[in-house]
Chain A
């Protein structure tokens, strides 16, 4: 059943004509062309489909489009502002924190969500906050460093 769903997508008020039960991840990828949101397991275990819903990291494979109605939704494509990369993105580049890059968008959005709540996380807090995002290439150490580095810039500290 097609319905109209309104939401704010990457800063732009957006109206979708869509079956509200469509899995949010597939809607983003296949209907909206936002393919930076990746499919890895489809059951909430890997985190590669992570997006921000009202600044909260969520797994878009576990949600329907209707869950995003009226909310602010951020995908990896919407993270850079006015052509400037988000501090977490910059920190990932600087630390070479991606290999195949497939888990990377989900990692970055989960990290942004974490930093919005806790701008100065300890190593232990970063690990706890990131624990359920999986990377098969083994980039964890560099991601931890990137998140701590980005937190400093987000708080107005050293620019990356």
Chain B
């Protein structure tokens, strides 16, 4: 049976009346076997996972070993292209010593899976995956104990240490004909174990599955169009919704005339709370109907636009939060022979997944089922329940595949909208945001201004570093370079000030893109002034940091870096940083067309130390994705707006990376298989802006201080250089 069919079958087993069961009953219904619920409480290992498990009933996850020998992992994580559907079973199979092919995974279903805070922040492998490995290791210990009892005879009493497991078959180390399978061990049993002990996971040398590349297991579903996303659900009697939207964020509706829409056969107007929607059994007609609705609005003004926003952020950044301080800036200034002061700007950008926010909802009696393109099934379940005034036990989120998230689907207002409409109309409803809605209601990466003042001493060493961050997030703000006198402040607006004209949120490698662009640009600004090679200048300030030194050197070697004073004319650029526990450096080689300002990145080398690598190919693919997606924020992406009105509406004016941008990409993974795994889906993206800005300087002598590095800005900088 195909993997997908097995999952469907497994799910259908308890679909008859899933609402009547509590978790334990549900486990029984799965047909017996060993169910391992785990709540490993080693906080150092699990961090936030353990804390949340405590809060939400003591369980991080569970897995079932069925009497057919299949192992099923139930997880609240979702698959949005980053690969846990492939890598989590790999981790499980390895720790449990079963064949990878015998592992099934059920994801993101709030009824079947235990609580999970969401799929973001590169937590799936480094936190959740570690917890799951620990649980699997414990499960194996339990099974070995059971096997020892089964395989013992009157004259030979066995202990687990005498046993081995190969592909789910437990046997004597000395005689593999005396054996019993996991399946037979769990036959006819209904055991619920909760493991809380100290986990002992495999060392790298013992791993059989982890560390070896696997193709994505969902590939066939995706290349045949069978993979189901939330907008692919079709329910009997389902209606398509469009919502009346304001012309700008925060606008208040003064009046509405829906008569034009109502005149169309089959159109219904639905009001729920502040929301007015049209629904129809055909999406086409819902689209026509919405265009006939006339509404008047009172718009809010904020007197900001995409040009003056950067000053606005500085002016309002009056709440100072010190992130790091060391030595004395005054002393640093005294020791400086060259001083630098530079302001860096980063605009609002959108997540722009190709799948817009989408949800399908249906009430079955009291119970609400929602399929939503989302990164956070559990928090979304809570949001929906609260908005509808129903208990969260009556809301079931279920979604496996999400068409890209990047942080943009941590918040899912579309799920609440569709649920409200389903509640009001008692009909199944599907809501797919248009691309224009996607831009307008996205939680954008916040715009930020960064002001860095620094000084070099007579030896060309950094004597002081004063980093003032306005409005951006703190991830990646403090520097890892060894600088004797330094200060990093985050300057935020007071709570009662609406700083941003739009909703803002986490964008892949949140704020670390912004901080790394500023820090790494400034590093090379100083390197050039000191007359030093950009790589050497960094290494000079990393003498005590072996990990970053190694990452930089490995990348430089792959890239073929040779020392030179910038600008060397070669178009080489470097940036490095730390994100989600991973140390990363990116080296690029670019061409700049000085007549048009066009930049072509020819080559990118990513070097990273991310601890244990579970699926090397999966990691390489994520790094490639980071390079390509990162070129978007680096070169073109920028939201245009006036007051709270979004001028960016579709891909014609918001240019994301295209085929022709694709550089040759090489990825170097530092071997650290015995270290805990760190993030893989985000780190490399943080370096792209800085690396390309530095390469533009190296190619032309022109330095840019504002992302994206558009042709117009490049031409302007060239004119000044």
Q: Is this pair of chains taken from one and the same complex?
A: yes
A residues in contact (CB < 8 Å) with B: 19, 21-23, 26, 29-30, 33-43, 45-46, 48, 75-77, 79-80, 85, 89, 92-94, 96, 98-105, 108, 126-128, 130-144
Q: Which of A89, A136, A141 contacts B656 (CB 8 A)?
A: A136
- Residues on B with C-beta less than 8 A from A46 are 354, 651
Q: Which label, helix, strand, loop or mixed, suits the secondary structure of the A interface?
A: loop
Q: Which of A96, A102, A138 contacts B627 (CB 8 A)?
A: A138
Q: Tell me the bound Cα distance from A98 to B354 in angstroms.
A: 13
Contact A139 B403 (CB under 8 A): no
Q: Tell me the bound Cα distance from A38 to B373 in angstroms.
A: 14
Q: Which of B228, B404, B651, B660 contacts A137 (CB 8 A)?
A: B404
16 A-B interface contacts by CB (under 8 A) = A41-B651, A45-B435, A45-B651, A45-B652, A85-B223, A94-B215, A96-B216, A100-B80, A100-B81, A101-B218, A101-B222, A101-B227, A137-B81, A137-B629, A140-B661, A141-B665
- Residues on B with C-beta less than 8 A from A130 are 659
User: B342 to nearest A CB, angstroms?
Assistant: 30
Contact A40 B354 (CB under 8 A): yes
Q: Tell me the bound Cα distance from A142 to B81 in angstroms.
A: 14
Contact B225 A98 (CB under 8 A): no
- Residues on A with C-beta less than 8 A from B625 are 99, 137-139
**Chain A residue with Cβ nearest B228:** A35
B residues in contact (CB < 8 Å) with A: 80-83, 215-216, 218-229, 231-232, 234, 240, 282-284, 352-356, 401-406, 432, 434-435, 617, 621, 624-629, 650-652, 656-662, 664-665
Q: Which of A93, A132, A142 contacts B223 (CB 8 A)?
A: A93
- Residues on B with C-beta less than 8 A from A76 are 223-225
Q: Which of B222, B224, B352, B652 contacts A136 (CB 8 A)?
A: B352
Contact B224 A96 (CB under 8 A): no
Contact B435 A140 (CB under 8 A): no
Q: Which of B224, B406, B660, B664 contacts A89 (CB 8 A)?
A: B224
Q: Which of B80, B283, B626 contacts A138 (CB 8 A)?
A: B626
Q: Tell me the bound Cα distance from A80 to B215 in angstroms.
A: 20
Contact B621 A102 (CB under 8 A): no
The CB with the most chain A CB atoms within 10 A, among B216, B219, B240, B354, is that of B354
Contact B223 A136 (CB under 8 A): no
Q: Tell me the bound Cα distance from A143 to B624 in angstroms.
A: 12
Q: Tell me the bound Cα distance from A140 to B353 in angstroms.
A: 15
Q: Which of B83, B406, B659 contacts A140 (CB 8 A)?
A: B659
The CB with the most chain B CB atoms within 10 A, among A33, A126, A136, A142, is that of A136
**Chain A residue with Cβ nearest B79:** A100
**Chain B residue with Cβ nearest A35:** B232
- Residues on A with C-beta less than 8 A from B283 are 23, 26, 30
Contact A43 B401 (CB under 8 A): no
Q: Tell me the bound Cα distance from A103 to B401 in angstroms.
A: 13
Task: Name 5 extra pairs, CB < 8 A, besides A26-B284, A101-B401.
Answer: A40-B355, A85-B224, A89-B223, A96-B219, A127-B662
- Given A93-B215, A136-B404, check contact A102 B225 (CB 8 Å): no
- Given A102-B353, A136-B406, A137-B404, check contact A42 B617 (CB 8 Å): no
- Given A35-B225, A141-B624, check contact A102 B403 (CB 8 Å): yes
Q: Tell me the bound Cα distance from A135 to B251 in angstroms.
A: 33
Contact B224 A80 (CB under 8 A): yes
User: B629 to nearest A CB, angstroms?
Assistant: 5
- Residues on B with C-beta less than 8 A from A144 are 659, 662
Contact A100 B224 (CB under 8 A): no
